[in-house]
Amino acid sequence: MSKTKFNVAVVGATGAVGEQIIGLLEKRDFPVDKLKLLSSARSAGTVLNFKGQEITVEEAGPDSFEGIDIALFSAGGDVSKELAPHAVRHGAVCIDNTNAFRMDPTAPLVVPEVNADQIDKHQGIIANPNCSTIQMVAALKPLYDSYGISRIIVSTYQAVSGAGAKAINEMLRQSKEVLEGRDANPDILPVGSLPVKHQIAFNAIPQIDKFQDNGYTLEEMKMVRETKKIFGDEDIAVTATCVRIPVIYGHSESVYVELKNDYELEEVKQLLAESPGITLVDDPAAQAYPLATDAAGKNDVFVGRVRRDLGNARGLNLWIVSDNLLKGAAWNAVQIAEIIAAKA
Ligand SMILES: NC(=O)c1ccc[n+]([C@@H]2O[C@H](COP(=O)([O-])OP(=O)(O)OC[C@H]3O[C@@H](n4cnc5c(N)ncnc54)[C@H](OP(=O)(O)O)[C@@H]3O)[C@@H](O)[C@H]2O)c1
């Protein structure tokens, strides 16, 4: 590219992730020349603010990408599948937040703390992993490098914002309905074209996305497949159970990991504390551990409750929390964009 300023497009600019991407481009002072904001016809015409400038959102189409250097997609997998190839045709590098290209062998699946070296291998599209995968692999990377990892068992406690702006509204609406003694009317969750919807207010739903033939949900299988691809290690055994809970921002994860080598607990804590992008919050005496409410609005991945498994000396339990809209989506994408910009 050999540029110092970039024409950037945000596809899905009016969504939960898009809003955070625009905010980060501004906060990080990303070298934006022109910013193009794209959505569906529904929100076209909406005026959004970027660095004090009013920008009118346009309907995204195949010709929206002329002159665009970097296109950040967060408008659902179908939109990415349809429009990202057009953006590439116009010479843009696409950073895609959806599931559309994550397992495509030509698209690097990148978490900068883990495999930034893969960015250069792109052929126009770089995939951002699933939010629950990103925070887990970012936290496990220093342990993978120091001890090796043979097995991961993860249970997630995922925020409603992970299912978009509509799911946040549904949770708030249902909470009010229940508090007022009325029936909660489920409409959105579990998200997707599914025949049955469940109440999320005051509840926990052990289904995120549709079920696969093997009894796992798609979200769970994303964690399995993406973890292997990001570490470049097909031998890691991964089992996931993904649960939606009535938290607005921030996914929490209980992670059991089996290391290949012996470890010292204090050394593990030190490694985590020293790793970029990780904040260790682990002081049981002070009841200090990561909380979704504390992680919300921050870019880091927070790790705590670090303790040795009682039945396996190489087993380790961790509690990993991060803002799903930031490190789980917008921040990871903008980090990738910053790396591309720095090399251009
Ligand atoms: N939320 C998360 O934590 C998270 C994390 C990682 C990845 N993601 C992925 O990011 C994507 C967006 O998620 P979100 O939570 O931001 O959803 P959202 O709040 O529902 O926003 C969706 C955005 O996509 C736009 N859009 C929908 N259909 C479109 C179309 N046909 N053409 C162009 N734009 C269209 C919407 O525009 P309108 O305003 O016009 O409807 C809106 O801007 C999803 O694929 C999701 O899986 C989300």
**62-120, pLDDT tens digit by residue?**
999 999 999 999 999 999 999 999 999 999 999 999 999 999 999 999 999 999 999 99
**Ligand 1 and 252: CB distance under 6 A:** no
What contacts 153, CB < 8 A, 6 or more positions away? 238, 239, 255, 256, 257
Determine the distance separating the centroid of ligand 1 and the alpha carbon of 289, expressed in angstroms. Answer: 31
Closest among 212, 168, 206 to 187, alpha carbons compared: 168
Q: How many CA within 13 A on the CB side of residue 86? A: 15
Pairing of strands 47-50, 53-56: antiparallel
Q: What is the DSSP letter of 283?
A: B
Determine the distance separating the centroid of ligand 1 and the alpha carbon of 120, expressed in angstroms. Answer: 26
Determine the distance separating the centroid of ligand 1 and the alpha carbon of 72, expressed in angstroms. Answer: 11
With the most atoms of ligand 1 within 8 angstroms of its CB, the residue from 10, 17, 248 to mutate is 17
pLDDT, tens digit, 9 for 90 and up, residues 250-282? 999 999 999 999 999 999 999 999 999 999 999
| Percentage of the chain exceeding pLDDT 70 | 99
**What dihedral do alpha carbons 293, 294, 298, 304 form, nearest 10°?**
-120
CB 72 within 8 A of CB 97: yes
Which DSSP helix (H) or strand (E) runs through 54? strand 53-56
**Ligand 1 and 76: CB distance under 6 A:** yes
**Ligand 1 and 304: CB distance under 6 A:** no
- The answer, yes or no, to whether residue 2 has pLDDT greater than 80, is no
Determine the distance separating the centroid of ligand 1 and the alpha carbon of 39, expressed in angstroms. Answer: 9
Q: How far apart are CA 199 and CA 183, in angstroms?
A: 9
Reported as a pLDDT band with limits 50, 70 and 90, residue 125 is very high
242 assigned to active site? no
Q: How many CA within 13 A on the CB side of residue 94? A: 30
Q: How far apart are CA 313 and CA 192, in angstroms?
A: 41
Read off the pLDDT of each residue in 154-178 and give the average, rounded to a whole number: 97
Alpha helices by DSSP H, the chain: 16-27, 77-89, 112-115, 131-147, 165-179, 218-231, 265-274, 292-295, 331-343
Q: Of ligand 1's atoms, which has the minimum distance to the CA of residue 12?
A: 43
**Ligand 1 and 329: CB distance under 6 A:** yes
Tell me whether residue 268 is exposed, middle or buried, using C-beta atoms within 10 angstroms of its C-beta: 0 to 12, 13 to 18, 19 or more: buried
- The arrangement of strands across the sheet holding 251-259 comes to 237-244, 149-158, 251-259, 315-322, 301-308, 278-280
Write down the pLDDT at residue 104.
97
**Ligand 1 and 18: CB distance under 6 A:** yes
Determine the distance separating the centroid of ligand 1 and the alpha carbon of 70, expressed in angstroms. Answer: 18
94 assigned to active site? no
CB 271 within 8 A of CB 146: yes
State CA 91 to chain mean position distance: 26
CB 100 within 8 A of CB 304: no
Q: Of ligand 1's atoms, which has the minimum distance to the CA of residue 13?
A: 43
Pairing of strands 251-259, 315-322: antiparallel
**Ligand 1 and 15: CB distance under 6 A:** yes
Q: Of ligand 1's atoms, which has the minimum distance to the CA of residue 324?
A: 3
- The answer, yes or no, to whether residue 169 has pLDDT greater than 80, is yes
Write down the pLDDT at residue 192.
85
Q: How far apart are CA 238 and CA 251, in angstroms?
A: 18
Tell me if domain 6-128+329-343 and domain 133-324 are identical in fold. Answer: no
Reported as a pLDDT band with limits 50, 70 and 90, residue 37 is very high
- pTM of the predicted model as reported, rounded to 2 decimal places: 0.97
Kindly report the average pLDDT of the chain as a whole number.
97
Which residue in this structure is represented by tokens 């769970």? 220
Structure token pair of residue 1: 């590219």
Q: What is the fold, at CATH topology level, of the domain defined by 6-128+329-343?
A: Rossmann fold (3.40.50)
**Atom 32 (ligand 1): residue with closest C-alpha?**
40
15 is in an annotated binding site: yes
Amino acid at 18: G
Kindly list the domain boundaries of the chain, sorted by start residue. 6-128+329-343, 133-324
Q: How many CA within 13 A on the CB side of residue 181? A: 0
**Ligand 1 and 48: CB distance under 6 A:** no
Write down the pLDDT at residue 61.
98
Question: Which of these is catalytic: 90, 131, 198, 242?
Answer: 131
Pairing of strands 149-158, 251-259: antiparallel
**Atom 11 (ligand 1): residue with closest C-alpha?**
74
Q: Is 195 left (phi over 0), alpha (psi -120 to 50) or beta?
A: alpha
pLDDT, tens digit, 9 for 90 and up, residues 180-222? 999 998 999 999 889 999 999 999 999 999 999 999 999 999 9
Q: What is the fold, at CATH topology level, of the domain defined by 133-324?
A: Dihydrodipicolinate Reductase; domain 2 (3.30.360)
156 is in an annotated binding site: no
Write down the pLDDT at residue 5.
97
